[in-house]
């Protein structure tokens, strides 16, 4: 069985897809937005803070696996995804990194 939930935060779209079965553990995949540094168009001036707060709210849960994705054409030392994932999971036990 699959369920889908679309959440609307102010100017932010979050898609949640749940997979449920009696034969396996339930799994919910949530696609969160990437970090935004500069407001564009109608975005509020504090868009970076709003997105960061939302990301931390989701990935700080103890039963959460983090898939941190960084573009291959950028330096991993400057990756916001890796930085936030390491803040929440310093030992990297619950993180998967993808380039």
CATH classification at residue 57: 3.40.50.300
Is there a contact between 50 and 80 (Cβ–Cβ < 8 Å)? Answer: no
Side-chain half-sphere CA neighbours of 29 within 13 A: 5
pLDDT per residue over 8-26, tens digit each?
A: 444 455 566 666 677 777 7
For CA atoms 80, 90, 49, 59, the dihedral sign is positive
The count of structural domains within the chain is: 1
Residue 99 confidence (pLDDT): 81
What domain range is 9 assigned to? 2-98
Spatial neighbors of 70 by CB under 8 A, at least 6 apart, are 76, 79, 81, 82, 97, 98, 99
pLDDT tens profile 47-98: 899 999 989 998 998 888 888 888 888 888 888 888 999 999 999 888 888 8
pLDDT at 15 (0 to 100): 61
């Amino acid at each position: 069985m699959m369920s889908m939930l679309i959440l609307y935060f102010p100017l932010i779209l979050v898609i949640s897809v749940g997979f449920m079965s009696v034969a396996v553990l339930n799994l919910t995949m949530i696609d969160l937005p990437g970090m935004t540094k500069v407001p564009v168009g109608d975005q509020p001036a504090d868009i970076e803070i709003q997105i960061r707060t939302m990301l931390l709210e989701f990935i700080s849960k103890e039963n959460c696996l983090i898939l941190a994705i960084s573009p291959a054409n950028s330096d991993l030392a400057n990756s916001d995804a890796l930085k936030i994932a390491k803040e929440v999971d310093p030992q990297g036990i619950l993180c998967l990194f993808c380039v």
